[in-house]
Amino acid sequence: MSEFLVNLLGERLVNGEKAEVDVHSLGSKLSLLGLYFGCSLNGPCKQFNASLCEFYSKFKKSSEHKDKLEIVFISSDQDQKQWQDFLQEMQWPALPFKDRHKKMKLWNKYKVTSIPSLVFIDAATGKVVCRNGLLVVRDDPKGLEFPWGPKPFVEVVAGPLLRNNRQTTDSGALEGSYVGVYFSAHWCPPCRSLTRVLVESYRKVKESGHKFEIVFVSADRSEESFTQYFSEMPWLAVPYTDEARRSRLNRLYGIQGIPTLILLDTEGHMITRQGRVEILNDPDCRLFPWHPRPVLELSESNAVQLHEGPCLVLFVDAEEEGELEPAKELIQPIAEKIMAKYKAKEEETPLLFFVAGEDDMSDSLRDYTNLPEAAPLLTILDMSAHAKYVKDVEEITPAVVEQFVSDFLAEKLKPEPI
């Protein structure tokens, strides 16, 4: 285990007293590691830090599992003194301030999109145990549910579900159906926009004969807002008053922002977290149930995924529909191999694959990242790290792409700033 942690965190951490902490010393009994992503200047981080300190102190004093848990702070502070002052409030160690490369790797590996964020991982393998530790701290202040591992959807959602005519149905009615778990709220404009599209998609899928249901999990700020919003929806909802069940579903899927649409297969296993993107990209629902595709055509609706981790983007000279197909066929086998490899390891794919033609979206991306106008142009863009990797060659072959990807994953490429 210590060898894995050294590879993940480095050999040395630091504590609030400026002392080094040997990663090997975290303990042989350690089974769960909490990666706490935050920043001293962020108000919600300061507020959560106080709650986490109280949670951690109680857990270490009274839990029978006190030796099995440790937390490591991963800061996005830019000022070392502010970072040091914040660290003094903490009872756990942190990644060294200057180790920005490792911080960025952890942000990307665990798909962190907002702060504060607390991700619990298996200390021996690095696999995510619970993506939304903030809710663990809030809902289980005594740590009685340790180690907060995922439970089957059917177990977490169990109980009565509402229809907008106020009738109820048991969650058992979802058995054998594809399910969309829809996290949304009336106060959120992008949510309301998506809901209008989703109503049409829901209707089309049902009319095509598929067993499909959606369960609305509200983030509304009052029951009145929930009732008003839910009146627009033809599907089911977790009762607003059942805050515990809503929170457990948020925790199960590590929801960091709304709107989020999680799509599940008929066994309750996740198909994709990107239901929002899929719905917007496929208004006719021809690709239902929207299994992840190895290569995407860059568009306004899926460009949001560029900010969720490193992305390979192959820019080509294509303006008409269908002209991107040769580019997709070129990189698809490599993308499929990467997806299969990490799926077998039960890990998220470390790289998304896109092809981009000549349009306003591609032009904006080139301008933003200061890329040359060449086509074809092979790039890997890491927006969160403000880094790019560019392969500007006359001919892009599968061998060129495969080597480029391999070198990136092995950290052999030198990044250029975005």
Quick one: pLDDT band at residue 380, thresholds 50, 70, 90?
A: very high
In a domain, 379, yes or no: yes
Residues 275 and 190 in one domain: yes
13: which DSSP letter? E
Nearest CA to 161 among 150, 140, 177? Answer: 177
pLDDT at 321: 67
pLDDT at 374: 85
Phi, psi of 330, deg, nearest 5: -65, -45
Question: What integer is the mean pLDDT of 96-115?
Answer: 90
Residues 275 and 358 in one domain: no
In a domain, 286, yes or no: no
Alpha-carbon distance 94 to 88, whole Å? 11
Question: What integer is the mean pLDDT of 379-397?
Answer: 91
pLDDT digits (tens, 9 = 90+) for 196-251: 999 999 999 999 999 999 999 999 999 999 999 999 999 999 999 999 999 999 99
CA 259 to chain centre: 13
Residues 273 and 234 in one domain: yes
414: which DSSP letter? P
Which two structure tokens, joined as six digits, stand for 286? 């021809």
pLDDT at 393: 85
Question: What integer is the mean pLDDT of 8-17?
Answer: 93
Quick one: pLDDT band at residue 139, thresholds 50, 70, 90?
A: very high
Residue 282 has pLDDT above 60, yes or no: yes
Calculate what percentage of the chain has a pLDDT beyond 90.
Answer: 82
In the chain, the number of structural domains is 3
The whole-model pTM stands at 0.83
Contact 95, 75 (CB under 8 A): yes
Residues 125 and 174 in one domain: no
pLDDT digits (tens, 9 = 90+) for 38-63: 999 999 999 999 999 999 999 999 99
Residue 260 has pLDDT above 60, yes or no: yes
Q: At 228, which CATH number? A: 3.40.30.10
pLDDT at 1: 53
Identify the domain boundary among 95, 110, 139. 139
Residues 315 and 343 in one domain: yes
- For residue 324, give its domain range: 296-417
pLDDT at 301: 85
Strands 377-382 and 387-391: antiparallel
Which two structure tokens, joined as six digits, stand for 393? 């060659």
Residues 72 and 168 in one domain: no
pLDDT digits (tens, 9 = 90+) for 299-321: 988 998 998 889 999 999 876 66
Residues 7 and 134 in one domain: yes
Which two structure tokens, joined as six digits, stand for 400? 């060129």
